[in-house]
Every structure is written in structure tokens, then in C-alpha cells.
Amino acid sequence: QVQLQQSGPGLVKPSETLSLTCAISGDSVSSNSAGWNWIRQSPSRGLEWLGRTYYTSKWYIEYADSVRSRTTITPDTSKNQFSLQLNSVTPEDTAVYYCAREVLYSGPNRVDSWGQGALVTVSS
Amino acid sequence: DIQMTQSPPSLSASVGDRVTITCRSSQTMNNFLNWYQQKPGEAPKLLIYTASRLQSGVPSRFSASGSGTDFSLTITSLQPEDSARYYCQQSFSKPYTFGQGTTLEIK
């Protein structure tokens, strides 16, 4: 049973960088059959997919166009975790952020496991 | 981006009732459609994947169907614990997108 444990600050100042980490147990960030996603949720934007990383012979990282220019998702094989960095945040980035596992190559993809969620507030 | 439109935004039903939530996509996407249930303060939970496949551990009163652009989630014999918000999500193309959600209230 995979478990995803999120960590990171809950308050970030405008123009600074939001950083979150998702520690994986029960699976591997290097798995050939899983993708590791970041999704956020806010009242104004609903559920919004931000990006993912996955490994299939090499690492792939994909981002939503809406955040591409200021987002970095990084896998860390030594700690079996992956991270999200979102630069130049504004109050619009206030949301609950989730990390999530996506099942790959077993029919159409689906997100089957989620972290506990982390409310990140952007405010001075 | 593929737009996902759910209806109704909310509904209220009684224990034992049957309800259906619909989801329409802005373009055809075969059966790359998933349904999630979210309760307050919790992360979404996968109910249905590939339009109609029941996720392991999900009660059989949940079912879904559809293809192309029109999909539906049906819950029969409603239980009090089914009170939640339900979302559809497409995994056909990136960015993955979600419907705006349907709130189900159990009277």
C-alpha cells in the first residue's frame, strides 16, 4: 500500500518560492509503472494539475502551461521522494497542494493515491 | 485544454435513492475518464477509472459508463457516507483536467 507524506511550509510571502516535498513509501519514485504528480485545489480554480515526473529508461518531467515558467518538479531517488518548487508566488497560488501517484501503462492513466494535502497560504 | 463540465452542481437525495452525475468533455477522449470522491478535509479518492472500472475496495453501488464525450456516475442504494463532492477527470491529454465537482447531500 503506497503512502505519500507531504511536508513544507504553510505560509509563503508574495514573490518568494513555494517548496513542498512528497516522501514515498510502498513504491519507488523510479518505478517504471508510476508517475508522480502535483495537483492543487482552491475555491477559485478547483482541482488543477500542475505537473508530474516519471521514469521510463530516463526521467521525464511535464508541466501545465499555466505554471510552466515558474515550476520545477524534481525526483530524488536517494530519499525516494519528489518535490515541487513554485517561484514568484502570488495570493492566487494559495491552495491545498497534493502530491499523488499515477498508475501508468495499465490501461488509461489514473491517479490512485494521494498525499494528505498541504494548505499553502501566500501572504505577507 | 479539454474542458470538463459536470452536472448538476449539487443534488440532494435520501438514503436508499439512486442518483446520477454526468460529465461532458469538450472533445472526444475515448474512455480516459476517472471519477473521484472527496469528503471535507480529505484528499480525493479514486472510485472509477477507464470510464467504468471500479477501483479496488469501492462498493459495488458505484458504477459508471460512457465514452467519447459523455459520461455518467451512478450511485444506487445511497448511504449516509456517500455524502461528498464528486469529480470527473480526463487523462486523455495534458494538462489533466477536472470537472468543477458535484456536491451530493444525503437528506
Q: Angle at CA B53, nearest 5°, toward B48 and B57?
A: 65
* Percent of chain A predicted with pLDDT > 90: 96
Residues B59-89 have pLDDT tens digits of 999 999 999 999 999 999 999 999 999 999 9
Task: Tell if the CB–CB gap between B50 and A108 is shorter than 8 Å.
Answer: yes
Grade residue A108 by pLDDT with cuts at 50, 70 and 90.
confident
Residues B53-64 have pLDDT tens digits of 999 999 999 999
Q: Provide the pLDDT for residue A106.
A: 78
pLDDT above 90: residue A71: yes
Give me the amino acid identity at B4: M
First to last CA, chain A: 39
Measure B101 CA to nearest chain A CA, in Å: 8
B48, closest residue in chain A (CA to CA): A110
A65, closest residue in chain B (CA to CA): B95
Residues A75-99 have pLDDT tens digits of 999 999 999 999 999 999 999 999 9
Choose, out of B45, B56, B96, the residue to mutate when testing the contact with A (most A CBs < 10 Å). Answer: B96
Q: Provide the pLDDT for residue A105.
A: 81
Residues A28-60 have pLDDT tens digits of 999 999 999 999 999 999 999 999 999 999 999
Contacts of A111 in chain B (CB under 8 A): 34, 44, 46, 89
Contacts of B32 in chain A (CB under 8 A): 108-109
Distance CA B73, CA B77 (A): 13
Contact A13, A121 (CB under 8 A): no
Q: Which residues contact residue B8 at a Cβ distance below 8 angstroms, ignoring those fewer than 6 apart?
A: B21, B102
The mean pLDDT value of chain A amounts to 96
pLDDT above 80: residue A107: no
Residue A6 burial (CB < 10 Å; 0-12/13-18/19+)? Answer: buried
CA atoms within 13 A on the CB side of A121: 4
Task: Tell if the CB–CB gap between B96 and A114 is shorter than 8 Å.
Answer: no
